[in-house]
Structure 1
Amino acid sequence: MPDLSVHEYTPVPGLGRHQVLDPRSLAYRRRYDGQPIRPTAWEPRLPVLDQSNLLTQGIHTKALFSESDVDYLDALASCTGNAATTLLSTILTKDACAAAGLDTDNAAAAETWAIGLYADATTYDQWHQYTWPTQDCGSSGLGVAKALRGRGLIDQYGHATTAEELCTLLQTGPVLMGLPWYAAWDTPPATGLLDDIPDWDRSPVAGGHEVVITALEAVARIDGDLSYDHTVLRAQNSWSASWGDHGSFRLSLDLYERLRADIDLIQPRLDGSRA
């Protein structure tokens, strides 16, 4: 077992991400060395997923597994599984998604697939003794990236640890972002940024969360350097299309920079043969 850095959050409905950093990941950073950074956008092939209200979607998690003691977790899904499923639908073709069992036309079927991915991710998170099903133990961006690779759906995954590296990754595809979720962010503005919510940083951290950054909407520079205040990211959540801006929210690179120590960024990648 490598010398992992683990920041655990208490899993609660909608929030089940832990921050797990592996020092070996630093060898797989895509370093910024002056590459052009331009606005980019990546569109998932899935409808916006909803990891809540599973029963109204006809999803019973206890029916997905043979274990008999998961009744009390019958409506459980995971932000890590949902974020990774949404990202995968972006980098795979529709046919490749179908070959992997991911129905990009049916939100409930895709949500069910994401729950199975969460189960896989918990087996790769070997820093704790629990797995889902039976325990709502949460998972990590690193664990779900390993699960995608274990299924043969990606070839590798890279990392970013700075704002410039994040923007570099977004030039080639979407990026998984794990972050602490502040309670004030539960009702974001349909337009505008999380940064704009008054006193968000004084609200409690509700838990750990995983989302997928789908766009670098605006790039601003001052004297040739990135202006963190005015460079804008868009991320897709998994709390239904009625949440935020059709399921998404925005934040500035400045907010990322403020929380950078508690954020992890992972980009699952393909060699292009199935993209």
Structure 2
Amino acid sequence: MQELGALPDLDITQYDVTGSLGRHRVLDPRSLAYRRPYTGETIRTVEWAPRVPVLNQQNLVAQGIKTGEMFDGVQDVDALGSCTANAATACLSVLLTADACAKAGLDTTDAVAAERFAIGLYADATTTDEWQNYTWPSDDCGSSGLGVAKALRRRGLIDQYGHATTAEELCVLLQTGPVLMGMPWHQAFFEPVSSLALLDEIPDWQSSPVAGGHEVCITAIESVAEIEGDIAYEHTVLRVRNSWGSWGDAGSFRMSLAVYQALRSEIDLVQPRLDRTSQ
């Protein structure tokens, strides 16, 4: 990965983009200043169920998705580094009613149609990532959690977005809705111990190389533990929706807050929000 200083107000880390990984870490101190602080609230288990099926940013042609038919002057590709948009699509399907999703062009009943929606959102996200010199189409350049949140707001699908920078702030956000997490994806993470195992259980994952950046959608706090009133990171477990089809536990995986804490300096957390009552 390469550290960039493209814009003076942004903290940017750019990763290699592949067909399964395409997230860049972009932090804007102006929006980070509005994060929701942790003030000792009780953290409870919570679950947010996406309306869309598990998406797959890979094997696009086999799914019947031809990017050459979606965009002028673009060849068909078999995979896209569109993880930010896939994660955001899962998140959006929680925020909007089924009817509102349909009005926005998001078919919650069909994984292929929803993946096409995500690819279009990916194109928008690469445009809102103004620090980049490339956009999709036709360059599979990746995008950021901040960029896709801006794209959702530009489309009028969310009212605002917030951030978290600590494990406790993340848990506070999850009490009110799903959260997009951009993270460095270590090579060892591709091979979980079992479908139900935590990323924590992969031997020596910390010493494996970083394969790229990945964006996922945290959909649940499955268990919460405390020690003397403080959250016990190793025993507080998150469930996370991925976008590689049935990979993992039917498309999701689990990790403890200890993994978040270990990777915290390379993670960004963005929560798209819909505060208006009409959805």
TMscore range, shorter length:
over 0.9
Deviation of 1:93 after TM superposition, in Å, equals 0.4
For residues 274 and 15 of structure 1, the distance between their equivalents in structure 2, rounded to whole angstroms, comes to 35
The counterpart of 2:32, out of the listed 2, 17, 26, is: 26
Structure-to-structure mapping, 1:115-126, within 5 angstroms: 115-126=119-130
- For residue 37 of structure 1, the aligned residue among 28, 40, 43 is 43
**Is the partner of 1:266 in helix, strand or coil?**
strand
> Structure 2: which amino acid aligns with 1:167?
C
Q: Is the 8 A contact 1:93 1:274 kept in 2?
A: no
Q: 1:170 aligns with which of 162, 174, 185?
A: 174
Of residues 96, 101, 105 in structure 1, which corresponds to 2:105? 101
Question: C-alpha displacement at 1:59, in angstroms?
Answer: 0.2
Tell me, yes or no, if structure 1 residue 111 matches structure 2 residue 126. no
2:57 counterpart of 1:51:
yes
1:81 aligns with 2:80: no
CA–CA separation in structure 1 for the residues paired with 2:135 and 2:29: 23
The answer on 1:259 being equivalent to 2:263 is: yes
Correspondence for 2:13 among 7, 24, 35: 7
- Indicate whether 1:270 and 2:270 are aligned: no
Aligned to 1:233: 238
Measure the CA separation in 2 of the matches of 1:233 and 1:76. 26
Alpha-carbon distance, 1:199 to partner: 0.8
Q: Which amino acid aligns with 2:201?
A: D
TM-score (normalizing by structure 2): 0.95
Amino acid at match of 2:234: D
Identity %: 66
After superposition, what is the alpha-carbon deviation per residue over 1:43-87, rounded to whole angstroms, capped at 9, x for unaligned? 000110011111111101121112x2x326464351011000010
Task: Report matched runs for 1:109-188 at 5 Å.
Answer: 109-188=113-192
Q: CA deviation at 1:128?
A: 1.4
Correspondence list, 1:240-255, <5 A: 240-241=245-246, 243-255=247-259
Counterpart CA distance in 2 for 1:157 and 1:219 is 25
**2:222 maps to which of 200, 213, 217:** 217
Equivalent pair of 1:98/1:104 in contact (CA under 8 Å): yes
Aligned to 1:206: 211
Contact 2:18 2:81 in 1 (8 A): no
8 Å Cα contact 1:175-1:214 kept in structure 2: yes
Q: How many residues align?
A: 272
**TM-score, structure 1 normalization:** 0.96
SS in 2 for 1:245: helix
Distance 1:251 1:198, change over 3 A: same
- The 1-side partners of 2:216 and 2:278 are apart by 23
Q: CA deviation at 1:271?
A: 1.2
Once the two structures are TM-superposed, the CA of residue 2 in structure 1 deviates from its matched residue by: 5.4
Question: How far off its partner does 1:202 sit?
Answer: 1.4
- For 2:135 and 2:37, the matched residues in 1 are separated by 34
How many angstroms apart in 1 are the aligned matches of 2:150 and 2:79?
25
Q: Which sections of structure 2, spanning at least 5 residues, go unmatched?
A: 1-6
Contact 2:67 2:76 in 1 (8 A): no
Instruction: State the secondary structure of the residue aligned to 1:176.
Output: strand
Q: Which residue identity lines up with residue 268 of structure 1 in the other structure?
A: P
* Pair 268,252 (structure 1): closer, same or farther in 2 beyond 3 Å: same
